[in-house]
Amino acid sequence: MLLELKGISQSKNGTRILSDVDLSISRSAFFVLMGPTGCGKTTLLRVAGLLDKPCSGQVIYSGRPVPHRGKERLDARRRMVTVFQRPVLFRGSVNSNIEWGLRIRGIPEDEIGRKVSKVLEMVDLEGYGDHDSATLSGGELQRVALARALAIEPSVLILDEPTTSLDPNLRLTLLRRLKDLHSRTGITFLMATHDFTDALSLGTAGAVMRNGRIEQTGMIDEIFYSPSTPFMASFVGMKNVYPAEFKEDGAVVEDLLIRHTSNRKGHGFLAIPPESIVVSRETTITSERNHFTGTITSVERAGPVFSISVDCGNLIIVSSVTRSALSQLDLTEGREVYISFKASAVHVF
């Protein structure tokens, strides 16, 4: 573990922002911190980056707890760098901005020049050294902020919602660049975002926050394909999430019996991914163990596919079909259809 947060609680002006947060980030991970706006991500990043002291709890860096003041804290802070959501550059040239972090560490002059050109090349800004920081475009500014952070060769690079205020093109470019930098340099990344697709494309591990607490943490796959709570499920975009009573032969949701492959007993929740539901006009013999009939109540566009809501008695199940399937099957409101899905596709938690 490179960076650990144990029992972190934080309040500001009497309002509780973080409650008992535990986090573990391993060396060279790309750790993504997710959650809706206002759940405390920025506050947590500030504690992790040693910019703020928490009301209680510890930050442990490289196995050693970081004290609240003193040289040891400064040394630890100097091994990390935070790039803020809307970065601010200092007055002067791009070069002077990038050099500053090196100068305050007393790096010798000749080395400074070398490091500066290296990072400028890393962010595709060769030759921009003499440009005045006030004349840069939004995208260039972001890249200089990134270069400035990379120049000091940190162990941990913390990014607070870097993609939030960017237009889609810049966003994609940035994500690609971050991924590239991560694999090139092996720096440990800690990134906050409220868009979980960032996590899916970049992250190796992550955590989801809600109201100042960690809802779930672990490897990215775990989080997305095995959400541990209903909140998590809806966060990761799962549909068809229902409370269920788990009995001997299956899970009872309303009056439907749904077959699944888990050992769960008693109260719980299950979710059925829309893309695993097959819609047809007539009944077919298939290997899926779950079959239901129902009436289509709505047909909605959902990006490149369509969302079909089927009323199966007391339950509305949402399925996802392609455009061609839609027209082939002639799915319209009011139609009677058959839906089926595998027991193994049912998500239980």
Q: How far is the CB of 25 from other proteins (least distance, A)?
A: 17
Name the minimum Å distance from CB 132 to other proteins. Answer: 13
Does 302 participate in binding other proteins (rule CB under 8 A)?
A: no
Structure token pair of residue 322 = 């392609």
Three-class SS of residue 253? strand
Q: Is 114 in the site for other proteins (CB under 8 A)?
A: no
Please tell me whether residue 81 binds other proteins under the rule CB under 8 A.
yes
Q: Which of 105, 118, 176, 265 binds other proteins (CB under 8 A)?
A: 105
- Residue 201: CB minimum distance to other proteins, A: 25
124 token code pair:
């595709």
Q: Is 172 one of the binding residues for other proteins (CB under 8 A)?
A: no
Which C-beta is closer to other proteins: that of 81 or that of 337?
A: 81
- Residues 303 and 274: beta-carbon distance below 8 Å: no
Least distance to other proteins, CB of residue 104, Å: 5
Burial of 63 (0-12, 13-18, 19+ CB in 10 A): exposed
Assess 51 for contact with other proteins (CB under 8 A). Answer: yes
Min separation Cβ 171 and other proteins, Å: 22
Q: Which residues contact 49 (CB under 8 A, 6 or more apart)?
A: 77, 80, 81, 82, 156, 158
Binding segment for other proteins (CB under 8 A), chosen from 75-83, 196-204, 227-235, 243-251, is 75-83
Give me Rg for the CA atoms of the chain: 25
In terms of Cβ atoms closer than 10 Å to its own Cβ (0-12, 13-18, 19+), residue 13 is exposed
Answer yes or no whether residue 93 interacts with other proteins by CB under 8 A: no
Residue where the block lists tokens 């190796």: 204
Among 101, 206, 212, 250, binds other proteins (CB under 8 A): 101
Lateral strand order in the sheet of 347-348: 256-258, 251-253, 241-246, 266-271, 347-348
49 lies in the site for other proteins, by CB under 8 A: yes
Q: Which residues contact 114 (CB under 8 A, 6 or more apart)?
A: none
Q: Among 56-64, 99-107, 196-204, 223-231, which window interacts with other proteins (CB under 8 A)?
A: 99-107
**Maximum distance among all Cα pairs of the chain, rounded to whole angstroms:** 77
Can you read off the two tokens belonging to residue 28? Answer: 């060279």
Draw the binding track, 125-164, toward other proteins (x: CB under 8 A; -: no contact). Answer: -----------------------xx--x-----x------
Two tokens, residue 45: 């990043």
d(CA 22, CA 4): 8
**Amino acid letter, residue 317:** I
Site string for other proteins, 271-290 (x = CB under 8 A): --------------------
Of 72-80, 116-124, 212-220, 243-251: span binding other proteins (CB under 8 A): 72-80
The binder of other proteins chosen from 87, 227, 274, 294 (CB under 8 A): 87
Residues 6+ apart with CB under 8 A from 199: 32, 34, 193, 206, 220, 223, 224
Instruction: Give how many residues touch other proteins by CB under 8 A.
Output: 23
> Which residue from 62, 64, 65, 74 is in contact with other proteins, where contact means CB under 8 A?
74
Taking the C-alpha atoms of residue 176 and residue 202, their distance in angstroms, rounded to an integer, is: 8
Q: Which of 6, 55, 60, 78 binds other proteins (CB under 8 A)?
A: 78
Which residues of this protein are in contact with other proteins, per CB under 8 A?
49, 51, 74, 77-78, 80-84, 86-88, 90-91, 100-101, 104-105, 148-149, 152, 158
